[in-house]
Structure 1
Amino acid sequence: MPFEPKHKVELDPPKDDVISQDYLSKCDGSNAEYPTYVAIKVCHDIPDCQPAGILTEGKGTVFDVSGNKSYGPEGGYKVFAGKDASRALAQSSLKPEDCRPDWQDLDDTSKKTLNDWYTYFSKRYNIKGKVEGATNT
């Protein structure tokens, strides 16, 4: 099955806590007092592109990636930490300026890529909540 982790991951039930933008920005992996979070949206506006097994509405879903050093201060994916990185993930970009929540103007291929990333994260990382005020439009 696509997107399955190599090793079984026991995930906690998803939470739907509201996480402020301010708190999310502190969860960038640079301070051990905070977890490391990445937020991702889901695009529902292209046919047959609903990520498998979505447990939330996908509006700024916050994943706890604390256990993965790739999202830490020295990691290759540190640019995503503490942000809604939807656009960057959709475009497979590591540019800081692409780490933002808007994705509506992207083509269907990029939107599908975003949904694939959502599915990937949802099979590996605990869902901690949703970004306060996040929408998918």
Structure 2
Amino acid sequence: MSGKFEPKHKVDLDPPKDDIISLDHLSKCDGKHEGYPTYVAIKGTIFDVTGNKAYGPEGSYKVFAGRDASRALAQSSLKDEECRPDWYDLPDDQKKVLNDWYTFFSKRYNIKGKVEGAQNTGE
């Protein structure tokens, strides 16, 4: 099962960065602001999804862009109100889904940093 989350095509990723990125800056990385990349944060870690149209302004996953969408990912939800960082109160099966998403993203997208003040980074 270790290959479960492997990308179909090899992805050359940069070494992960640990830059601290403010919520204000992250909010501008939503695919709608010219000159900004498109980012999705999971458990306080920021992934660069620029170039994947699914996270762009017209994409099916646009709701995740420019924010920490941990809760929504854990719940397999596309609801705007669920796109928030808190997830500790979720049941174990949803926490597993969230961890699976984190693994999926980490094998495909460059890590650009951490959300400033993130409290949702644990297991």
TM-score (norm 2): 0.95
Q: Which has the higher helix share?
A: 2
Would you say 1:117 and 2:117 are equivalent positions?
no
Would you say 1:7 and 2:9 are equivalent positions?
yes
Identity of aligned residues (%): 79
Letter in 2 for 1:85: A
Aligned residues between the structures: 119
Shift, 1:129, TM fit: 0.1
Distance in 2 of aligned mates of 1:39 and 1:110: 17
Which residue of the other structure, out of 14, 22, 28, is the alignment partner of 2:24?
22
Shift, 1:73, TM fit: 0.2
Q: Please provide the CA RMSD for this pair.
A: 0.8
SS at match of 1:130: strand
Q: Structure 1: any 5+ residue segments left out of the alignment? A: 42-59
SS at match of 1:114: helix
Q: Structure 2: any 5+ residue segments left out of the alignment? A: none
Q: Show CA shifts across 1:38-92 (max 9, x none).
A: 0001xxxxxxxxxxxxxxxxxx000000010000000000000000000000000
Shift, 1:3, TM fit: 0.3
Give the aligned partner of residue 54 of structure 1.
none
SS at match of 2:10: coil
Moved over 6 A (4+): none
